[in-house]
Amino acid sequence: MKISHQLTVLLVLVTVLGASAHAENGTETSRWMLIDNFENSNAIEQWTLRDTKNETQPHIDKPQITEVRVAENGNHYLLKKAAADGIIGNRKALSFRPLPVSVEVGETYTFYARFQVEYFPNNHIFGLSNLDATGIEAQDYNALEPSLRITDKAESNGFKNDGTLMVKIGSGYKKIINFTKAEVAQPLQTGTWYEVWYVVDNNRLANGGQVYDVYLKGGEFEQQTAVYLNADFRMAREKPLNYLLLNSNTGSKKSPYGNGGVLYDDFYMRVGRDLSKPNQFPETQ
């Protein structure tokens, strides 16, 4: 699907912003702060797992699957699923952990992660929250601010998603864009590791903040590429961001989404806009 002329023009801005970020920050990566790479034996203990809308029938206690797995090359990663295959009714499978430092109001930070879609159909979203643990459990989706959505589910209005990565815009979501081709990006490929950088501006709305830019590498994007600029914080509370939050949803018994998982690894953060790559892990992972 072709995008508008206005988005085509943004290609120029994307190129300038990307070049500026690299020029300003170079390749120095010593100040990247590790959030989690799941290599520690107690990594999962740092996460809080809550199934806050568990409608499984018959009832299954703690149906979500959020566990550390080991790849053939020895790399550890997190597998996240709303429930095991065939289980329906876990509507809010929350997994969250505190950030090493808060992103205060007025600050800009860059976040880095790797992710892989296990398979479709599924329904996942991940991002950052500015609530405490109690607030996250109470607000679930609305606990998120900047977020990235992975799903091929049908919406209540009948629109069918196709697995293209999405960002938050206003009251809905928008697919990321391949600016070079001036069209919407392709659906995410299963079994492929993607790298994502999202630059989070936690300034106040009046100062142009509560927005984030997204850069992606993997699949159709052979090099790091800007795929969306100025996506919206979900709630724009103008509060410090302090938690990393993953959420998934099986759907209801009437309208199941599917339980395909997402693999996550190498969550990092760094102050400012920095599109370099953390160098604490090998290229072969």
pLDDT in tens, 20-42: 444 344 444 349 999 999 999 99
pLDDT tens digits for the chain (285 residues)?
446 543 544 554 444 444 444 434 444 434 999 999 999 999 999 999 999 999 999 999 999 999 999 999 999 999 999 999 999 999 999 999 999 999 999 999 999 999 999 999 999 999 999 999 999 999 999 999 999 999 999 888 888 999 999 999 999 999 999 999 999 999 999 999 999 999 999 999 999 999 999 999 999 999 999 999 999 999 999 999 999 999 999 998 888 999 999 999 999 999 999 999 997 654 434
For residue 157, the model assigns a pLDDT of: 83
**Is the pTM value of this prediction over 0.75?**
yes
Query: Measured between alpha carbons, how far is 253 from 162 in angstroms, rounded to an integer?
Result: 21
209-229 pLDDT tens trace:
999 999 999 999 999 999 999
Contact 227, 205 (CB under 8 A): no
Q: DSSP states of 79-97 as a string?
A: EEESSSTT---B--EEEEE
For residue 18, the model assigns a pLDDT of: 47
Give the number of C-alpha atoms closer than 13 A to the C-alpha of residue 171, restricted to the C-beta side.
0
User: Structural domains in the chain?
Assistant: 5-27+36-271 (2.60.120.200)
